[in-house]
Amino acid sequence: MKIRHNVRAILLDRDRLVFLRRGWPGGPAYYTTVGGGVEADDADLEAALRREVMEEIGATIGPVTEFLTLTEPGERVSVVQHYFRADVLDMDLKRRSGPEMEDPDTGDFSPVRVALDVTALAELDLQPNELAEYLRDHIASWST
């Protein structure tokens, strides 16, 4: 069986979390993390994460800490999602450059800031559910 690795970022911008709002015309919106697949020319998971964060939201980030790994088994390919926590150092949407920005089928792909608390998280349709549950259980310890 083949294994594909993805990197995902839980980003803290001062007292806010940064997620991506996703949706298509006529459909419901949901929220997810910034990130994507590890490419052959990425030196390691952290390099892939930094590339994805720049491509998708035009941000640079500080030190990263992996805090959760989820595996999505498939018949031919299993996907291992590596979740990292990092602080946003700066963000400029004009620097977005990923292939998602050029694809008209991408739909809404907007960064949003959400309060760093359980109530705000509970109001989101954050995907995947395992991540949403983890954050609701641990977010209080992340508050500054």
Band of the pLDDT at 144, cuts 50, 70, 90?
low
β-pair partners for 32 = 20
The 10 Å Cβ neighbour count of residue 54 is 19
**pLDDT above 90 for 29:** no
Band of the pLDDT at 104, cuts 50, 70, 90?
low
**How much is the pTM?**
0.92
Least confident of 93-97, 100-104, 124-128: 100-104
**pLDDT above 80 for 108:** no
Q: What are phi and psi of 103, to 5 degrees?
A: -95, 115
